Amino acid sequence: MKVLLVEDDQFHASYMEDVLVETLPEVTQIFHAVNGQEAEREARAMSIEAVVMDLRMSQCNGIEAAQILWQERADTRILFWSNYADEAYLRGISAIVPEDSAYGYLLKTAPRDRLKLALRAVLVEGQIMVDREIHRLQRRTSSPRNTLDDSEFAVLLDLSLGLQDRMIAERQGMSLRTVQNRLLSLYDKLGVEDVSDDETPINKRVRALNRALITRTLNIETLETAEREFERWQSSRA
């Protein structure tokens, strides 16, 4: 089995390589890439079917890279391996994972044993495996039922790009007023108060983006990805 390791931190890369050879005797070759473009080239040239992917890299981020890999062959098995337990990453991944593909999401702070287990489960057995830390995070209830549903999240993405209500409505196929209702529930779930302590009114749109970032519902990579998707959508109609 050939494995592609996409990781721009040399220490983490060599650690992972070490664990790979120790854990999986099935592995015959390990290829390297330090960003998304390289990963794409390598995977195509070497017909890779198992990948370990860092999420935060310079250039193209891990989620977009994974999307390209899965477009080319949907049965690619990918273990995402990240420093951060951002809800944004998990949402990004579940938005692009093909029907019955194998993938996993593990934190870099996971102990060696759990890493070994995840490597075998995902890359060899083709299972789906998500680090408990991350799963727990998704179900958190810091404020009452603050889990965003898909349409709310889509509106949040559009908002974060700076789109106005009218454009969001057009893009989401909603009426103007519905978009505004979504925004209302977004403000609620993100904990956007209409006034701060000291009777200071705030700009809710900006505040919503701020809160989404601080709670890790969004992160900067998400914004970049959303931007590119918006441009594609915009050019695909005219």
Partner DNA sequence: AGACCTTATGCGGGAACCCGCAATGCTCTT
Partner DNA sequence: AAGAGCATTGCGGGTTCCCGCATAAGGTCT
Stretch touching a second copy by CB under 8 A, among 41-49, 69-77, 127-135, 154-162: 154-162
- When asked if residue 9 is in the footprint of a second copy (CB under 8 A), the reply is yes
Q: How far is the CB of 191 from DNA (least distance, A)?
A: 13
Residue among 43, 118, 56 nearest 92 (CA): 56
Distance CA 185, CA 171 (A): 19
For the bound state, the minimum distance from the C-beta of residue 201 to DNA, rounded and expressed in Å, comes to 5
Q: Give the orientation angle of helix 220-235 with respect to helix 87-96, to 10 degrees.
A: 40
Q: Which does 220 bind (CB under 5 to 8 A by kind): a second copy, DNA, none?
A: a second copy
Among 100, 113, 194, 199, binds DNA (CB under 7 A): 194
Alpha-carbon distances, residue 90 vs 1, 2, 22, 46, 111 (angstroms): 27, 26, 28, 28, 20
Asked if 76 and 48 count as a contact pair (C-beta separation under 8 A), the reply is: yes
Q: Which does 66 bind (CB under 5 to 8 A by kind): a second copy, DNA, none?
A: none
Is 204 among the residues that bind DNA (CB under 7 A)? yes
Q: Measured from the CB of residue 128, what is the shortest distance to a second copy in angstroms?
A: 26
Specify the residue for token string 């310079």.
58
Helix (H, G, I), strand (E, B) or coil at 131: coil
Asked whether the beta carbons of 35 and 58 are under 8 A apart, the reply is: yes
Q: Does residue 151 belong to the site contacting DNA (CB under 7 A)? A: yes
Does position 157 interact with DNA (CB under 7 A)? The reply is: no
Q: Which of residues 40-59 bind a second copy (CB under 8 A)?
A: none
The nearest distance, CB 197 to DNA, in angstroms, is: 16
What is the Cα–Cα distance from 230 to 36, expressed in whole angstroms? 20
Partner from DNA, a second copy, none binding residue 219, C-beta < 5-8 Å depending on class:
a second copy
Q: Which is nearer to a second copy, 146 or 210 (CB)?
A: 210
Sheet architecture: strand order including 77-82: 29-33, 2-6, 50-54, 77-82, 103-107, 129-130
Closer residue to a second copy, CB minimum distance, 73 or 216: 216
Q: Residue 17: enclosing H or E segment and its boundaries? A: helix 10-23
Binders of a second copy among residues 206 to 225 (CB under 8 A) are 206-210, 213-214, 219-220, 223-224
Using CB under 7 A, list all residues that contact DNA.
151, 164-166, 174-178, 180-184, 187, 194, 201, 203-205
